[in-house]
Amino acid sequence: MPWKGEKDPYKVWVSEIILQQTRVDQGLKYYENFIKAFPDINALAKADDRTIYKYWEGLGYYSRCRNLIETARHVSFNLGGKFPEQYEEIKKLKGIGPYTSAAIASFAFNQKYAVVDGNVFRLISRIFGIDKPIDSTEGKTFFATFADKLLDKKNPGVYNQAIMDFGAVICKPVPSCQQCPFKNNCHAFKNDRILSLPVKTKKIAIRKRWFDYILFEYQGKWAIRQRNGKDIWSNLFEFMLIESNSELDNKEQILTEARKRGWLEQTGFETGSYSEIFKQQLTHQRIEGRFVKIMLQQKPQLPEDVFWVRKTQIRNYAFPKFINQFLLKSELN
């Protein structure tokens, strides 16, 4: 991996943020493209938001990208472009918690801070037979303290990388125990507890949402808007959205909802295609919905944040995966 042995705190930071909620095989290409486009923190700070989000498109958890932008501009504009070197100062940066701060401090500056990610939680809990829930405050504190005691104080960066790699390659959720040199001393292996460790107490409640998107077309342009606030996909772009508690039965129901919002008159438009159902599973949410195209004879009264983009330019904007699934199959592709 290109970030292995990396000492540039900027590149360490970018790789760790990308890999926070992303598999290595998926994140690798994003990392390479991101570093090529923004080779240092000043280049990232100077880039416009839309361009940065386009490079992040498809990675999900877009708050990571928002925090990346804010931190890059803070370091570039307020700290003279010099990334902080001390753990506590690194941890003050937006989007950087104890884990990422420890990773940057140890990998880039060889400081004595243990990195505790999901791989480390899993490895330590199995080998030592620790039942404390890793998603509890008590458990997190215990594991952080325990990991710090195990840390090789002479080579913290190498040690941290090694234990993380071992958890990712050998002590996986379904581990390769026969390849593991610790198996004769591993509590989980000797006591048939491999799949019951680590312990988690919280069950994820999945929220179901139904999205109907209307693609308004007027004189070769499409109406889009940028999502904001604290909901999913913040800062990404979308078409006009009608959200419902459950599936709307047909196009007419969608048109009725559009009229209620003042987006449509009774006449002056033609209804186009009505898509199949598209789906996207997020960590805490399941999104399902359809897309309907409406060709307009006159411009409607849409909200002020809506703007019109030519179909040939639509790919210049970053959309959530849910919409990109549709775009791949539509005439916009």
Please say whether the beta carbons of 119 and 168 come within 8 A.
Answer: yes
Smallest CA-to-CA distance from 289 within 301, 300, 276 is with 276
Residue 25, classified by CB atoms within 10 Å of its CB into exposed (0-12), middle (13-18) or buried (19+), is exposed
Handedness of CA 13, 14, 15, 19 (dihedral sign): positive
Burial 309-331 (b: 16+ CB within 10 A, else e): eeeeebeebbbbbbbbbbeeebe
Q: Cα Rg for the chain, rounded, in angstroms?
A: 24
Q: Where are the alpha helices (DSSP H) in the chain?
A: 9-19, 24-37, 41-46, 49-56, 63-78, 87-91, 98-109, 118-128, 137-150, 156-169, 187-190, 251-260, 321-329
Query: Does an H or E element contain 269, and which?
Result: strand 269-274
Query: Does an H or E element contain 273, and which?
Result: strand 269-274
Q: Does the annotation mark 16 as catalytic?
A: yes
- Choice among 6, 16, 32, 331 that is catalytic: 16
Facing residues of 240 across strands?
214
Place of tokens 């050998």: 170
Facing residues of 242 across strands?
212
Q: Looking at the annotation, which residues are catalytic?
A: 16
